[in-house]
Structure 1
Amino acid sequence: MAVMPLARHGMAQTSEPLKVGSLKFGTVNWLLDTIAANKIDTREGVRIERLELASNQALTVALQAGSVDMIVSDWLWAMRQRAEGDGLRFRPYSNALGALMVPRDKGIASLADLKGKRLGVAGSALDKSWLLLRAYSRNKLHADLADSAEPVYGAPPLLSEQLRLGRLDGVLTFWNFAARLDAAGYHPLVDMIDVLTELGVTPSPPLVGFVWREALLSTKPEQVAGFFRAVSGANQILKTDDAAWERLRPAMGIGSDAEFERLKEYFRAGIPTPWGTAETQSAERLFGILSELGGPELVGPRTRFDSSLFWVPKA
């Protein structure tokens, strides 16, 4: 990892902090906690000021209002905002995707077995994973899962509980909730990476990342650069150092050793590799699919794919 000269450290440390918004119980806090615990921010000459909020909507409002400099969100939302004139930029946070989780003992071995079943969907009818799974089911079954199964939309924790109570037959959910269900004895019937592969979206592009206004690259360039060096350093620690995870364990809401191990495993698998031309091309392919499936209600009436959204630092 590159280390900034001491003179630059001192200058950056006395400058304005980089204000980062995160969900109160979001997994990005594990990364930020690791940065702080290992003093990577100090080493990289950046002061990080954290603001924890209760919902994704609160995060986007905080960014738009200027209360924070940076949040974690998906690039489709950022691209829609960019099309509306808000010059946002994006850099991947995680490549971890969700999965369709089902009980191991209910005889559900394929999508066809979900016919007539109650299927929980994290989010709404316009959830991106749900739209993609529907397209996948049309390829595999020549039938839309929205018609053959009974979708039930809701928040991930509620859906997980309903699955455990036997009121749902499966749940399409985000990666961290899938990891907890995996630990509780459920298994992934379909992984979203397999869905993307089936739909011709390879390599799988990270969907979630850090989002900020383009002007930040002019007003706080050293802080942005230092922040992403710190992120890279923390990811390297979390990828290889089990002791770092033990330190995080009290804040992870762990219910069992198995849950702890699955969350660690899923997080590590989702640490993104550098974004390049192949990822941009995959993102464009994915944007085209989602535009077709979700229409203007999902992507906005004026949104076109804009590769300049994706920020790649100069070498």
Structure 2
Amino acid sequence: MGIEDQQAAIDAEHGDPEGLPVMRARFEHNGSPRYMLYTMKRLGLDHEHGFHLDFELVSDELEGEVETVEAKLQDGEADLIDIDYISTARERAEGAPIVAFYPYGRTVGGLVAHEDSDIDSLADLQGKDVGVVRRLDKNWILVRAATREQYGFDADEAATPIEAGSKVELTRMIREGEVDAVLQFWPIVPEITETGPYEEVLPMAELVQDLSGTDNKLPISTFLTSEEYLDHHRETARAFASAYRATVDRLVEDDEPWEVVGEKLMTHDDPEIVRAVRDGWRDMVVRDWDEETIDGMEELFDSLYAIGGTDALGVDHIPDGMFRLLE
């Protein structure tokens, strides 16, 4: 389903701000947060918790070296986005006044290959062409760290990463046989494997847990805003967090919202795909966080850095003040 059709479904639920403080949310048209944000709007949970969510979809392409949503936030055109916290660290270290104020989830992808491929594990990536959104994508960082630790080679050197620039292009590349495998974002994996002769070789969530050394489910992506917005609109940020928790509860406990999401937002309104995405979302979402969660995220960063270094992560530390608990 195209971005225009999805936006039309969202706009049908927008309504009037009714004098409430407005939070401008800009999210990728094929990213999983759109399921949650659309449900929040449809159920009126933003107004119920005291703010108006202005929700628009944008492309998943890069603008320069950053994702479109990140460019929107840095240019002052958005108050709320989500990206992985390694990218957040990279941009904040370069001077971007952005902060992570609430968790979203373990939003990583999966290694997908043709069913007839000889790729059965990360060890088989040597000599293969692997499609990635970009070399600094979190999924490729995880693969590089894991191949170094588990198999004694760096996938960036032993394989050939081919940057696609977008998730849409990744799907095209694997379907047209231009690469041996792709690291695709998790909600798109079922669309590929359920509609063609492809299989998920390895979910990246397994690498997250292996490399973090903890059984706690760690968020990889977080909700971001600007320092200025958080300084002046902390109560609105708290209201969003409350609405988010309420929306997560509905999506975890009730199947009905997923039926609507499948109809209104998914390219393939196939019950099998909808159920796969629903179950995957429930497994990856993080409802809340605390200091212990953030400590775990920092430990995972340190583990990845120890294995891959600045070359893999693009940054050598998590900048001070990047994580902000809404106390």
Aligned: 1:212 with 2:225: yes
Amino acid at match of 1:278: E
Q: What's the counterpart of residue 190 of structure 1?
A: 202
Which of 37, 40, 46 is 1:35 aligned to? Answer: 40
- Asked if the contact 2:194/2:273 (under 8 Å) is kept, the reply is yes
Q: What's the counterpart of residue 167 of structure 2?
A: 156
Which of 119, 141, 146 is 2:156 aligned to? Answer: 146
Q: CA offsets per residue over residues 221-244 of structure 1, 9 Å max, x none?
A: 332221111111111111122111
Q: What's the counterpart of residue 97 of structure 1?
A: 108
Which of 232, 235, 246 is 2:259 aligned to? Answer: 246
Amino acid at match of 2:191: R
Distance 1:27 1:197, change over 3 A: closer
Count of aligned pairs: 300
After TM superposition, the structure 1 stretch with the greater mean CA deviation from structure 2, 195-204 or 289-298, is 289-298
CA distance in 1, matches of 2:188, 2:109: 8
- Asked if the contact 2:20/2:50 (under 8 Å) is kept, the reply is no
Cα shift at 1:205 = 2.3
- Asked if the contact 2:105/2:221 (under 8 Å) is kept, the reply is yes
Q: What's the counterpart of residue 5 of structure 1?
A: none
Distance 1:138 1:24, change over 3 A: closer
Amino acid at match of 1:261: R
Q: CA offsets per residue over residues 190-242 of structure 1, 9 Å max, x none?
A: 22222233334433521212101233334223322211111111111111221
How do residues 76-87 of structure 1 correspond to structure 2 at under 5 angstroms? 76-83=86-93, 84=95, 86=97
Give structure 1 stretches of 5+ with no counterpart: 1-11
Which of 227, 237, 247 is 1:224 aligned to? Answer: 237
Amino acid at match of 1:109: D
Cα shift at 1:44 = 1.0
Distance 1:140 1:310, change over 3 A: same
Cα shift at 1:146 = 2.9
Cα shift at 1:294 = 5.2
- Asked if the contact 1:74/1:209 (under 8 Å) is kept, the reply is yes
Which of 31, 55, 59 is 1:54 aligned to? Answer: 59
Which structure: larger Rg? 1
Amino acid at match of 1:229: S
CA distance in 2, matches of 1:82, 1:149: 30
CA distance in 2, matches of 1:68, 1:110: 40
How do residues 104-115 of structure 1 correspond to structure 2 at under 5 angstroms? 104-115=115-126
Distance 1:13 1:97, change over 3 A: same
Cα shift at 1:177 = 2.0
- Asked if the contact 1:18/1:47 (under 8 Å) is kept, the reply is yes
Partner of 2:288, secondary structure, is coil
Aligned: 1:260 with 2:280: no
Q: What's the counterpart of residue 284 of structure 2?
A: 270
RMSD: 2.7
CA distance in 2, matches of 1:35, 1:50: 10
- Asked if the contact 1:13/1:45 (under 8 Å) is kept, the reply is no
- Asked if the contact 1:280/1:307 (under 8 Å) is kept, the reply is no
CA distance in 1, matches of 2:45, 2:186: 27
Q: CA offsets per residue over residues 60-95 of structure 1, 9 Å max, x none?
A: 232223222221222223334444262523311222
Q: What's the counterpart of residue 22 of structure 2?
A: 17
CA distance in 2, matches of 1:90, 1:296: 27
- Asked if the contact 1:75/1:207 (under 8 Å) is kept, the reply is yes
Cα shift at 1:13 = 5.2
Amino acid at match of 1:206: P
Distance 1:34 1:255, change over 3 A: closer
Q: What's the counterpart of residue 71 of structure 1?
A: 81
Amino acid at match of 1:75: Y
- Asked if the contact 2:51/2:236 (under 8 Å) is kept, the reply is yes
Distance 1:254 1:200, change over 3 A: same
CA distance in 1, matches of 2:106, 2:209: 14
Cα shift at 1:290 = 4.4
- Asked if the contact 2:86/2:138 (under 8 Å) is kept, the reply is no
Overall identity of the aligned pairs, in %: 25
CA distance in 1, matches of 2:130, 2:230: 43
Q: CA offsets per residue over residues 130-189 of structure 1, 9 Å max, x none?
A: 122122112222222233333322132222233233333221121122232332353332
